[in-house]
A and B are shown apart, each in its own frame.
Chain A
Amino acid sequence: MAVATEEKPKRRRRQSKLAKGEQRLAYWLLVPTLVVLVAIAFYPLGSVFYSSFTDDTFASDVDTNFVGFQNYSDLLSISFVELDPELDESGQPVIDPETGEPQYESPVEALPREPRRYRNVFTFGLFGNQYVLGATDPDFILSIFDTLIFTVSTIALETIIGLGIALVLNQPFRGRGVMRAAMLVPWAILTAVSSRIWEWMFIDTRAGFFNVVFQNLGLSDGQTPFLADESFQLPAAIIIDVWKTTPFMALLLLAGLALIPDELYEAAEVDGASWWSQFKSVTLPLLKPTLAVALVFRTLDALRVFDLFQIVFAQRKYSMASFAYYELIDSQRLGYSSAASVVIFFIITIFAILYIRSLGLAEDD
């Protein structure tokens, strides 16, 4: 008895020593990772925050000044102005003889010029009135809009096409292995390489694939400048990205489909459920967790898109990231580019938090 009671605290001490050793080992094992992350993520992020409040530039001897929120206000100042219809001498609105639309004053005249000049981002009609969105840096504001449109469109298309491909390839058929292998091809091609391949396919003569197709379909004269024409730029970028990343989505969804037990479909079959109701009440709910994770990763990826825009459009069209790059490398405006990076960081963080929140909710269901 006496021996046993003496033994107990001894063992506990030994165990806690062991646990302490385990804890110490864990910290030592984590040190390298933390050191690396501090050096390449947290410290640079901090310095980006700091320089976003300065007018720092590269390759100049000019002293750096603290400018407060100046960079941010230059980047983000926007102004909505209603455009007045243009009136002739008798006070009647001028109608464009070709389109039959009323004419409006030019955005340049309507937008404020003092103390800072606002330039035209885009004009739009709403409830019969014409408005203009002006910004002190229209390129950045437009890059935010374009990146958001790009993100929403690519994610929607990728999810729909990816789900379709996954459903087809989930059927047993001869050659399924080959098709799965083929799915890895677009994924394995470097983004820079795929951007150049598509750039060549979109080239503005009939030497390019799409101009040949468009001409054969009678849609154009075979000289469409897909990558220079404003109205084709975003659709082209979306197609390129959808091609590259849909297989990834399809692979994830295929793995998710494989986890759904066959019995559920058999039971649905016995109940006489149609394909559509099986899809709606078995496939989709059980695929939801996979779909959610895939959506998070793809969205955060799409928001920081750079390679595609920089290679295919250079400075003809910016994504948020390529805008920050050109401000840094071409304009050498370190402070201004840093402010743009901070804005991008916050936009992406907001998306990440929203997504993770909704994921957490999805798990509670």
Chain B
Amino acid sequence: MTDVPTDTVAAGTAERIEMRERDFAARRRRKNLLGRIGFWALIVLIAVFLLFPFYWAINSSLKTESQLRMTPATFIPRDPATGDIAITFQNYDAVFQNPTFINAIKNSAIVAVTVTVIALVIGSFAGFALGKLRFRGKTPSLYLILSMTMFPQVAVLTGLYAVILNFDIPAIPSMILSYLLFTLPFTVWVLTSFFQQLPMDLLQSAQVDGATPFQSFRMILLPLTAPALVTTGLLAFIAAVNEYLFALTFTTIEPDARTIPVAIALFTGTVSRQEPFGEIMAAAVLVTVPLIALVLIFQKRIIGGLTAGAVKG
């Protein structure tokens, strides 16, 4: 930054400048060290904030009933008498032998997978039309879909439940159908923007070659949008697994159809006693670990999908 001046008169000034620069550098280093410590303290604080509750669930899931009742609560499972570390897997055994819970996993899988597939199929049709075709009424359709992504589910709860009771629709198909309320508009919205970004050249050359619009959709656009479908599908799947209001309401008179969130919320344990928190925490860990694994594997896609709509403004 500072060129050494050749002028001898200025040499003293240059030296002084250099000294001051060195002084600054030292001060900056000291400040940097403090800053770095502060920075890493912040990182640790954020990590604890993000992960501690899940750690507490794991910790509690590895404790026996008497260890859970120990006061004050211990940060790792300890033997009440000796204070040694003592881990038990009995809560996990109990959860695995809990037919309600196993059934709930099955129900959730059926509901979430079916909803995701239907939303992707129907949604990619609509997304293609809105993203690539010219037709009258396109702008109102887009606004309709966007406003539907903000639709409050509770507003139609009584109406849907009345229909379901009137026509005696079983809980699982009811959930599949009603979950399209929040998965479909979202899927259409994201896929529309993906289709919009796709280059038109391929489509045009296919048209020149005499392909019908549907052929070009099936043979060119769909393979190209496979990554987008994976991202949207994952987000729709997670949203469907997470849904609680409809699931709780529709399974009121059909407990066998309960999904994971409902089963966890109403967990009663194998032996009837009050709030078996050890088992609840074990169940919590068991359903969370695969979800976290899924999310971490597809990390980049999920972050991309979540931020796609927002960042573009």
Number of residues of chain A lying within 8 A (CB) of chain B: 101
List chain B residues, Cβ under 8 A from A251.
Answer: 303, 306-307
**B34 proximal to A (CB < 8 A):** no
Complex CA distance for A229 and B82, rounded to whole angstroms: 35
Is B288's beta carbon under 8 Å from chain A?
yes
Q: In whole angstroms, what is the CA distance A260 to B257 when docked?
A: 48
Contact with B along A332-365 (1 / 0, CB 8 A): 0010011001101100100010000000000100
B296 touches A26 (CB 8 A): no
A256 touches B265 (CB 8 A): no
Instruction: Identify which of residues 50-102 in chain A touch chain B, using a CB-to-CB cut-off of 8 Å.
Output: 51, 58
Are B152 and A300 touching (Cβ within 8 A)? yes
Q: Does B252 contact A (CB under 8 A)?
A: yes
Determine whether the beta carbon of B162 is less than 8 Å from that of A193.
Answer: no
A173 to chain B, nearest CB (A): 7
Q: Which of B222-246 contact A (CB under 8 A)?
A: 238, 241-242, 244-245
Main SS of chain B's interface residues? Answer: helix
Q: Is the Cβ of B261 less than 8 Å from the Cβ of A192?
A: yes
B 45-73 to A, binary, CB cutoff 8 A, 1 in contact else 0: 01101110110110010000000111111
Per-residue 0/1 for B271-313: is the Cβ within 8 Å of any A Cβ (1 yes, 0 no)? 0000001001100100110011011100100110011011101
Instruction: Flag the segment in A115-123, A126-134, A151-159, A183-191 that touches B.
Output: A183-191
**21 contacting pairs across A/B (C-beta < 8 A):** A26-B134, A44-B156, A44-B159, A44-B163, A47-B162, A48-B157, A182-B51, A190-B241, A192-B265, A194-B53, A200-B57, A200-B280, A215-B72, A243-B53, A247-B50, A252-B310, A255-B303, A290-B311, A310-B248, A341-B154, A352-B147
- Residues of B participating in the A interface, judged by any CB pair closer than 8 Å: 39, 42-43, 46-47, 49-51, 53-54, 56-57, 60, 68-73, 122-123, 125-126, 128-130, 133-136, 138, 141, 145, 147-148, 150-163, 165, 177-178, 180-181, 184-185, 188, 213-214, 238, 241-242, 244-245, 248-249, 252, 260-262, 264-265, 267, 277, 280-281, 284, 287-288, 291-292, 294-296, 299, 302-303, 306-307, 309-311, 313
Closest 10 CB pairs of A and B: A44-B159, A289-B313, A192-B261, A206-B71, A255-B307, A26-B135, A44-B156, A29-B129, A345-B155, A33-B126
